Amino acid sequence: MISYHTLNVNDLEIFYREAGNPSLPTMLLFHGFPSASHMFRDLMPALADHFHVIAPDYPGFGQSSAPDHTQFAYTFDHLSDIMTAFWQALDLGPAYIYVFDYGAPIGFRIAAAHPDWIRGIVSQNGNVYQAGLGAKWADRQDFWDHPTPAKRDRYRTAFAPATIRGQYLTGTAPHTVSPDGYTLDIAYTQTPGYAERQLDLIFDYQNNIKQYPQFQAYLRQHQPKLLAVWGKNDPSFIYPGAEAFKQDDPNTEVDLLDSGHFALETHASTIAQLIIRYFG
């Protein structure tokens, strides 16, 4: 059974889902863009007999507080600080982390700052290598290097309904992806202030790439047990990013799945079995 909670963290209401007995090893699930903790709705029950599973929504996502972007810095450093405070407020102690998409720079910031908190890492299309950046990132580099209001405005297409459906469906077999996840993600784009806070994060993503060397240094120094399970047909974070973990962390297993970016939509059961086998 999944239960649903809200916790006050730094004057923000952080929504989270929880499953499994707290006496079991904890695993925090860090979601991606443009989603929220609902992306783990199938994975959490599959892990609950083996892990105490917690999936928060970041500020500005899902059911958590979403301050106006003029009053709150929507940066990955700030979201990582909030998730660090969330971890501490729940007094979780050392835990496994599951990082996906935006969850990777958040989770790896926490891991690099608090290596003693990390029992192991699942990276599902959670990239920290140049080798894992698909073709679209070259265009974003131009935006980051030479930002203009017009270029910023152009990135509203990143959360247009057709783009979101494409993120879910690209690289998957026909008729295998439920509309539930992308329909809810599209609904969230209609919430007040959504566009501006997401555009702030798209611009700040450049600072994640700048921190890749620090994330890789963490892996080389601490060599956590790491499972890189990847939808190999993801055009955004391409599968060489999964293979790249091996160059820094010998305690890495790579599993490439015949799916796309949101691999949990088609392979939640398979991913759960891989996690239980690898960390059980």
Q: Active-site residue among 38, 52, 261, 267?
A: 261
Nearest to 236 by CA among 25, 15, 72, 34: 34
Rounded to 5 degrees, what are φ and ψ at 100?
-135, 130
Give every strand in the sheet of 95-99, ordered side by side.
Answer: 3-9, 12-19, 52-56, 26-30, 95-99, 118-123, 226-231, 252-257
* 261 carries an active-site annotation: yes
User: Which pairs count as long-range contacts for 44-49, CB under 8 Å and 24+ apart, including other chains?
Assistant: 44/2, 44/17, 44/19, 44/20, 45/1, 45/2, 45/19, 46/268, 46/269, 46/272, 46/273, 47/19, 47/20, 47/272, 47/275, 47/276, 48/1, 48/2, 48/19, 48/20, 49/20
If you ran DSSP here, which 8-state letter would residue 250 be given? Answer: T
CB atoms within 10 A of CB 160: 12
Catalytic residues: 261
